[in-house]
Amino acid sequence: MRLGGVDTIKVDVRIIAATNADLEEALQKGQFREDLFYRLHVITINLPPLRKRNEDIPLLAQHFLSHYARENEKPLREIASRAMEMLLDYHWPGNVRELENVIERAVVLSTGGALDVDLLPTSVRQQEPLGSPAPHLPASGIAVKEAVIGDERQLIIKSLQAAGGGQKRAAELLQVKPTTLHEMMKRLNISSEGVSTS
């Protein structure tokens, strides 16, 4: 019924809603309306982040390449193997949208027939692995607890850097709840404000 109207108008619609939040957890905390949750909660599709489904990257990259090459009237037809390796190794904090933007940028800047490493942004080309380097064992030895705390601290700092200081995104990268990351940061005296994201 229209606002101010008296006639009921029948409609046939389907509602598709997307979120990166854990709605069941938000529901338990009283941060999401229960009635709305159960109206939306008919068919749920859990889509993992792009970094957890690397096998989709070549197909998506080729699709975006073909689309933007046509749109920009560019002769690009393929992605060089080294460029594809970099796309596969990157952690994609911005998921599919970030991949699409990277490919569109490369197409716009291209002059040849292949998308090569030089067309990828610095963030993809000069990425650092999120994990810690191989542990170093000093000649005098080291306490395991001390080494584990050091590695944990470095991993949290790297995740915060990769997330631009955002704790929610850093928690996703570490595959822990934001509250868990907050407790870890508190225990290790890590502040997201003090983390360099350059």
Tell me the average pLDDT across 106-119. Answer: 91
Q: What is the pLDDT of residue 198?
A: 43
The answer to whether domain 144-194 has CATH 1.10.8 is: no
Interval 143-167 mean pLDDT? 78
The amino acid that residue 11 corresponds to is V
Helices 178-187 + 167-174 axis angle, to 10: 100
Look up residue 95 and give its two tokens: 């998921």
Nearest CA to 21 among 163, 178, 192?
178
What percent of the chain has pLDDT above 90? 36
CA 139 vs. chain centroid, Å, equals 40
Report residue 66's pLDDT band, with 50, 70 and 90 as the boundaries. very high
What are the tens digits of pLDDT across the range 27-55? 999 999 999 999 888 998 888 889 888 89
Q: Is residue 136's pLDDT more than 70?
A: no
Residue ranges of domains in the chain: 50-125, 144-194
Q: Which pLDDT belongs to residue 158?
A: 81
Average pLDDT score over residue span 83-87? 92
pTM here is 0.54
CA dihedral 109, 114, 117, 123 (to 10 degrees): 50
CATH number of 50-125: 1.10.8.60
155/161 Cα distance (integer angstroms): 10
Residues 6+ positions from 85 with CB-CB distance below 8 Å:
none
**pLDDT at site 132:** 45
